[in-house]
Amino acid sequence: MTVTVALFTRDLRVHDNPMLRAACHEGAGVVPLFVLDDRIIAREPVSPNRIRFLLTALSELDDELHALDGRLVIRRGDVLDEVDKVVAHTHAESVHIAADVSWYSRERERLLRERLARRDCLLHAHDDSVTVAKPGDPSPAGGRGHFAVFTPYFRRWMETPVRRPLAPPPRFVVPPLRGAELPRPQELCAEPGSPQMSAGGETSGRKLMKQWLSGPIHEYDSMSDDLASDATSHLSPYLHFGCVSATELVHRTDTSTPGGHAFVRQLAWRDFHHQLLADRPEAGWTDYRRAPAGWRDDPDAVEAWRSGRTGYPVIDAAMRQLVAEGWMPGRARLIVAAFLTKTLRIDWRIGAAHFRRWLIDADVANNQLNWQWAAGTGTDTRPNRVLNPLRQAERHDPDGEYVRRWLPELAQLSGASVHTPWRSGIPHSVYPAPIVEVNGM
């Protein structure tokens, strides 16, 4: 019996999964495998939220595979060693994996290919699993490896043909093979996660996708920046872990509507960052462009920002939501990132590390490169722009509802007055004074 291995990474789904479909098409026996990679689990900063979400996603993936007469084989350790053991035990002729763009993913693919070649086992990397467009397609004119500006990328992206979503594979046979039990979160990370975070996998993600596309998406263009309305899809964690397919989302979205077009534009931003990182992997930790000004060393300001005690309610509300839920809307992310980097002049890498500690959906491409955009070291065509937190609060939380939701100590302040508590005589023992002055105070 010809055996193939379907090695899951950031594609934890059976619907529209090119890697899984190819493995099932090629092999009479298929091993659906996920390796809890100790190198990733031990990486700093530790992310208990992503660990908790991952384990739930793996449990739901196992349920989906059981519906196909399959099961998920869990192993833990070094990914090269564990895949090699599975191939040796089953005499697998090939391994299928979703291609990814981070330095670690590409190095993992290279080393896997070398290791498997010693057993005459082929590695097939599928570059249409994680993103809608392949990282190198569309490509800019002039021989450059990536688009450096989003708008021309988006025009080409919209014109690029996209493959059709794939149905789940037919039922398949899993060869006899022992796997590990799915561990509890505390076995992988002793640190507590966000108390109000949501966790799910493919089953949960598809329900959320259906709900989003059934109506709320139609107001996305007009309401996505309104902090109090919570009018975004909340699909980003499911996209990060591949529980839902970005390609399927594009196909199921009506881009002729303003809301649908605005939502698909955000999926294109996700692809934009992946194509940049594929060509410039060092952008995950080094400045893509020179910073507009030098960074300051101010540990007290950093701690005030992290703990939601800057004295600016819109900043502090967003930072407390991050810790409570492991998530915050895109507009809030931009406001707090711009405040740290442009107003406080703190290195973007410090903020990006804090986001990676708490955000369920943080990955190298979108987290690091969005931070670089906010800091003026990335692809923003106006790198010196500064977002005033008071103006942002007026525009995106005009009645102060979002702030009162997350800052109960200011609940007695009505309307927009909650954004300037220093004008209402709130004692500093209740809420801190602003740590820096901005225009409009």
What is the structure's pLDDT at 3?
97
Note the pLDDT tens digit of each residue in 287-344.
999 988 899 999 999 999 999 999 999 999 999 999 999 999 999 999 999 999 999 9
Q: 286: how many CB neighbours lie within 10 A of its CB?
A: 12
User: pLDDT > 90: what percent of the chain?
Assistant: 94
Cα–Cα distance measured from residue 1 to residue 287, given in angstroms and rounded to the nearest whole number: 51
Query: What does DSSP assign to residue 281?
Result: G
Compute the average pLDDT of residues 411-432.
96
Mean model confidence pLDDT for the chain: 96
Cα–Cα distance measured from residue 350 to residue 340, given in angstroms and rounded to the nearest whole number: 9
> Do residues 83 and 5 touch, judged by C-beta distance below 8 A?
yes
Note the pLDDT tens digit of each residue in 273-289.
999 999 999 999 999 99
In the sheet with 3-7, reading across from the earlier edge strand, the strands are 73-77, 29-37, 3-7, 94-98, 122-126
Burial 334-348 (b: 16+ CB within 10 A, else e): bbbbbbbbbbbbbbb
Cα–Cα distance measured from residue 300 to residue 36, given in angstroms and rounded to the nearest whole number: 37
Q: Which domains does the chain have, with CATH numbers?
A: 3-130 (3.40.50.620), 131-163+204-279 (1.25.40.80), 299-424 (1.10.579.10)
> Do residues 61 and 135 touch, judged by C-beta distance below 8 A?
no
Note the pLDDT tens digit of each residue in 71-125.
999 999 999 999 999 999 999 999 999 999 999 999 999 999 999 999 999 999 9
